[in-house]
Structures are given as C-alpha cells and as structure tokens.
Chain A
Amino acid sequence: MKKCIKLLNMFFKQSTEELLIYRSTAVITLIFSFMFFAVEIIFGFIVYSYSSELAGLNFNQYMNLIFTATLITNIYQFFFTVGHENLSDYIVEGELDYILIRPVNSYFYYAFNRQDIPSLINILVTTLALIYNNRLNTDINFSVIVFYIICILLSVWTLFLVNQIVVCVAFWKEKVNKLLGMPEYFYDASSRPLGVYPGFIRFILSYIIPFGIITNDSSLILTERFPLVHLIYIILWNIIITIISVIIWKKGLKHYASAN
C-alpha cells in the first residue's frame, strides 16, 4: 500500500513537471474542454427554447445531466486519459518493455501512469456549474451528496473499463486510431436523455455499455430517486468487467512482442 501511494505521488509530480514543459498544450486542452461545455449548454438552450420538456426532463434536469456527464469525463480525463492515449502507441511501437520489467502490477501502473492536471480546473468549473444549477433545489442533503459522489466514482471506473478494453485491441490490431474514439461517441450519445432513443438503443446504452445509466441515473439523484437496482447492476458490471479487462490485458501481454 505504501509503495502504491509513493508511486501515485511520483506520477503526480511527473505529470506536474510535464504540464510546466507543455504549457501551451495545457492551455489549449483547457480551452477545448470549456468549448465543449459551451456547445452543450448552447445546444440545451436552443432545444429548450422550442420545447419545455425533452423525454420527460425539464431544463434544470437536462443541465444536471450535461454537467454530470461532463464531470464524469473530466475526472476520467484527470486520472486515465493520458495513459490510454500513450498505451496504444507503446503497444504498437514495442515500448511496453520498460514497464514490464518493473516490479509493479503493469495493469495498474499503466492505468494511473499520468494525470492530466489541467482537468482539475475543468472539474472545479463543472462542480461550480452543478452547484449553481441546484442552488434552489431543496431536496439535496448530505446523504444525496454522498450517494451522488459514490455514483460518480463508479461511473468514472465504468468509463475507464470500456476505454481500457478498447485500447487493448492494439495488442492484436495495428491501426486502431478510429476505434479508440468509439467509446467517446457512445458516451456522447449517453449524455442525452435516454428517453429520446428507441428501445434497442436504450437497452444497449443501459445494459451492454451502461454509459446511459451512469450519466442519466447519476444526474437524477439530484432531483429524483436513483433506482437502486441500477446501482447494484453497475457495481456488478464493474466487478465483472474489471476481471475481464485484467484477463484481456494478460492475454494481450502474452501476444505482445517487441524487438528491443
């Protein structure tokens, strides 16, 4: 445990140093996140200027959904996105060797290998937007906040698992650039009210790739009750998929070859 904390501390230090080297990149990354945020808010305003409800959600609930989905993405981005971006390149270019010879768990080493520090600002801004949007909400109490945080953390792990499995395809296929973007498309689709989709898409986004549950139901905790069955389902899904992703990782490592 002590070793893990030391390692995490070291990763954070390295990430901060990289941030200071690539300052302009960090600024652009920050701007793009804000732009996405702005596009989503503008889109929401336009849609709700023509309709008072969208698939049963009022404007406030819709904004909660957008902010919750963005918050989950930002936390995922902070912890995992840099590692995932590097991983497929390292697999294809044979640079994984340097990790494999270290006396650490390679799966978790790669998962937490780098933090995207500018995302911390995005997390802060999204949280403030959420607080502002719920400033008049009298249903929020301590237990709701705790429940909401638990759901957000579970959601981040769900997002990580789907991306991790997709990145591992690089062990078997050479050019996977477009495939790596697929979870993002599914996630974007899930950041809309699930009720707008036909039944089979709702089923896929709820139970196969449960991004729909993690975004929609997490945001509904703030205004309605969260279906406990879904929470249990997400916990089970995360446990099973974590095991599967570790198996895929191990099988991938067996398949991996380099000529260093």
Chain B
Amino acid sequence: MRYLYIALTEIKSKLTYRFDLGVEFFSKLIELTMTLAVWNAVFSSGITIRDYDKKSMIAYLVISSVLSFLYTFEPCFRLGKLIHSGRLSVQLIRPINLWKSGLAEQTGRKAIYFIILFIPFVIFAKLHNYFVLSIILFIVNFVMFYSLMAFISTVAFWLENTWPLRPVFSAVYSLLGGILFPLDILPEPVYRILVYNPFALVGHVTAKTLTGSNENIALYILISVFYTLIFYFLYKIFFKAGLKKYEGVGL
C-alpha cells in the first residue's frame, strides 16, 4: 500500500508540471520526425530493405519511438541524487525498500504514458492474436529495464557525478535498442547477437511484437525475466558494497 502512495505522488507531481510534460512530448516528436524524414528519403526511390517497405518501416519507427517514452533513465540517477544530497540516510531509516520505492516512483512517473498508450497498444496487440503474451512481455520488460537502471545507479557510490551517463544511455539505447533503425536490417550474425541485449528487448523486440512480426514472444519473456533476476541480484550486491563506502552527515 505504501508503494501505491509513492506512485500516486509521482502521478500528481507529473500532472502539476504539465508544461514539462508537453515539452517532453514535443521533443519526442522532433526526434521521431528526424528519423522518419531520413528513412523517407531513403525509401523515396521505391526500394525495400530486407522485409521492410516504406509503410512497415514507418510503423516500426513510430512504435519504437513511442515505446521510448516508457523506458527512460531517471531511476539511474535517483540513487546518485540521494547520495549527493545526503538524503540517502533518511531513506535508509524509513521502513521502505529502496528498490521497490524506486519502481513505484517510475511506475507513477510513467502512468500517464501507460494510459495514453494503452488503447493503441491493445489495438496493435489484438490485431495479431498475441494479446496476453504481449502484455506480459511489456510488463516484464518494464521491470527488467528498471532493474538494469537501478543496478547501474549503484555506481553513484563510487562516482562524484553521474549526470554524464545520461547521454551515454541515450546513445546506447538509440543504437542497440533499434530506435534509429530496426536491428534486423543489420547483417544476420550481428543481428543474432544484438537482439538479446536488454535495450533491444524493450525497443526492437517489443516494436516487432506489436507490428505482429515476432513469433518467439515466450522466449523473449523468459530472457527478460532472466535479466531481471540477474540485475536485481547485482543491484543487491553492489548496493551493499556501496553502503560500506557511503558517509552521510546529519539527518
């Protein structure tokens, strides 16, 4: 119940700063326009790239771009902010689990996007008879991505500033997640390696699932669960080690 309140507080905060929300939508729109314009120019000569014609490429890019609203890097910097400000000490004496409260915060932060994206998501998923599996993949991926970010956030115990990491993730996500282009237009051996990376699972794999061109959903769910467990245990280990290094003054 207490985690529900945390999520609700985040929703309220998001709704309070509506201007910020609007700017976020607008920035994504610019990003999407840029990618679509480039690929539109490539397809203008009427070529097809592997299995993609102009229409399917646009559908893929729009879905992967919309998905990137949900998979953002805020949880990666949460711990760093707490350590830097010394507020971690306060959090530690509270009867809450830091990992769970972070997940609740992230869920609350993304709740508005979930609501907005739910209807198109259901339409796409229903079109291809993968409704239940798609929903499960979607939820598991959300937790997996959060676990990855939470695990990486523990570097804050050893680094003074973690903000330079944000653009690193953006670059990695754009490339390995298949936001700039579908990963399956890459040479087959490269694609086989890249498709199982966590960024591809939340970007490329989910977009392919929603466009109905993915039949191994169950396998991807299993891989995602596996990653979630690995990242969770790594988070636990590194958080424990980091706490030994942490010094908080005052409460």
Q: A32–B49 contact, CB under 8 A?
A: no
Q: A43–B37 contact, CB under 8 A?
A: no
Total A-B residue pairs with C-beta atoms closer than 8 Å?
97
Q: A58 an interface residue at 8 Å Cβ cutoff? A: no
Q: A51–B20 contact, CB under 8 A?
A: no
Interface size on A, residues (CB 8 A): 39
Q: How far is the CA of A193 from the CA of B38 in the complex (A)?
A: 8
The distance from the CB of B48 to the nearest CB of chain A, in whole angstroms, is 10
Chain B residues with CB under 8 Å of A193's CB are: 41
Q: B23–A192 contact, CB under 8 A?
A: no
Given contacts A22-B161, A43-B180, A201-B33, contact A175 B171 (CB under 8 A): no
Q: A54–B38 contact, CB under 8 A?
A: yes
Q: B159 an interface residue at 8 Å Cβ cutoff? A: yes
The distance from the CB of A196 to the nearest CB of chain B, in whole angstroms, is 4
Chain A residues with CB under 8 Å of B159's CB are: 24-25, 28
Chain A residues with CB under 8 Å of B185's CB are: 46, 50
Q: A197–B24 contact, CB under 8 A?
A: no
Interface size on B, residues (CB 8 A): 35
Chain A residues with a Cβ under 8 A of chain B: 21-22, 24-25, 28-29, 31-32, 35-36, 38-39, 42-43, 46-47, 50-51, 54-55, 173, 175-179, 181-182, 185-186, 188-189, 192-193, 195-198, 201
Interface contacts beyond A28-B168, A182-B27: sample of 18 additional A-B pairs, CB < 8 Å, sorted by A: A24-B158, A24-B159, A24-B161, A25-B164, A29-B164, A36-B167, A43-B181, A47-B181, A50-B47, A175-B17, A175-B20, A179-B19, A182-B26, A185-B27, A185-B31, A186-B30, A195-B41, A196-B37
29 contacts between A and B (CB under 8 A): A21-B160, A22-B160, A24-B159, A25-B160, A28-B159, A29-B164, A31-B168, A32-B164, A32-B167, A35-B167, A35-B171, A35-B172, A39-B180, A43-B181, A46-B185, A51-B42, A175-B20, A179-B20, A179-B23, A182-B26, A182-B27, A185-B27, A185-B30, A188-B31, A189-B30, A189-B33, A196-B40, A197-B33, A201-B33
